Amino acid sequence: MTKPTIGFIGLGLMGGAMVGRLQDQGYALSVLGNRDRTHLDAAVARGATEVASAKEVAAASDIIMLCMGTSDHVESRMRGEDGVIAGLKPGAVVIDFGTSLPASTRTLGAEVAEAGGTYLDAPLGRTPSHAKDGMLNIMCAGDKAAFDKVEGVLKDLGENVFHLGALGSGHTIKLINNFFGMTVANAMAEAFAMADIAGVNRKELYDVMAAGPLHSGMMDFVKGYGVDGDPNLLAFAIKNAAKDVGYYSKMADDAGVKSIMSQSALSALSEARDTGHGDEMVSQMVDFFANKYST
């Protein structure tokens, strides 16, 4: 069978790795980057077609994929005279792989439907190294017929591909997942800093905690930096964590409730970001708490 043509917008670390994987699988791609041309140039060198606007991406593609940092970024590429919606072919499927606000996703879904296409949210789990090998976790939601149409492509990108129900459910689950993970990571980071203040050894604290039901992968990621000095076991920047937990809090507000548990993690992550540590990894929040408590 003929493979669908794919348009890809947002070739950062994750998007670039996903494009490389799609090219490995023989898909024809039109691509649109942003500021950093590293992955864009690599894709073009392998045969991808660079275009000048999101509208041109859509006009050339059966499936349009976006992998961008914020809902604002997604909306700016979707709307306007040069946006995806303006160039959409009838029956095209648009997939947002970013971590976006569910309310924004549902609004864009209605706009895409009015233009004759279908919008799916499909946030990602795992890392760019997993993307390179087609081993992502993909949390897709939206129209089931559209999901069935693109499932084969998603399975070329992901080891675990979920269909999670109505449009916005993937982004909702991803935000809950990231809220929980970042709250645990910050709690572990503070625990190591408090060990310093209280005069106990970080490694001994970890050994005791890890021997019981508190043990988790997230604990190990933070221990990777807090004890072993390697920040990259959890390759997720503080600024991105702050964004995601902020989106979770906004999602709660939109639902008419006030999140209690997210506020401490959001406060710490936001302060770390705003004091020049946004590009550091989440496990380095150990230093944020250690410095804060030692001054």
Q: Average pLDDT over the chain, rounded to whole?
A: 97
CB atoms within 10 A of CB 208: 11
174 in active site: yes
- The answer to whether 101 touches 115, Cβ cutoff 8 Å, is no
Q: 238, 273 in Cβ contact below 8 A?
A: yes
Predicted TM-score (pTM) of this structure: 0.93
Residues of the chain with pLDDT under 50: none
Least Cα distance to 27 among 8, 11, 50 occurs for: 8
What local confidence, expressed as pLDDT, does residue 1 receive? 58
Instruction: Check residue 34 and give its pLDDT.
Output: 76
Same fold, 6-166 and 172-294: no
Structure tokens at 171: 């982004």
202 close to 227: Cβ distance less than 8 angstroms: yes
Backbone region of residue 91 per phi and psi (left: phi > 0; alpha: psi in -120 to 50; beta: other values)? left
Q: Among the CATH numbers 1.10.10.10, 3.40.190.10, 1.10.1040.10, 1.10.357.10, which is that of 172-294?
A: 1.10.1040.10
CATH fold group of domain 6-166: Rossmann fold (3.40.50)
Number of residues written out for the chain: 295
Domains of the chain, by residue range, sit at: 6-166, 172-294
Catalytic hit among 55, 89, 174, 250? 174
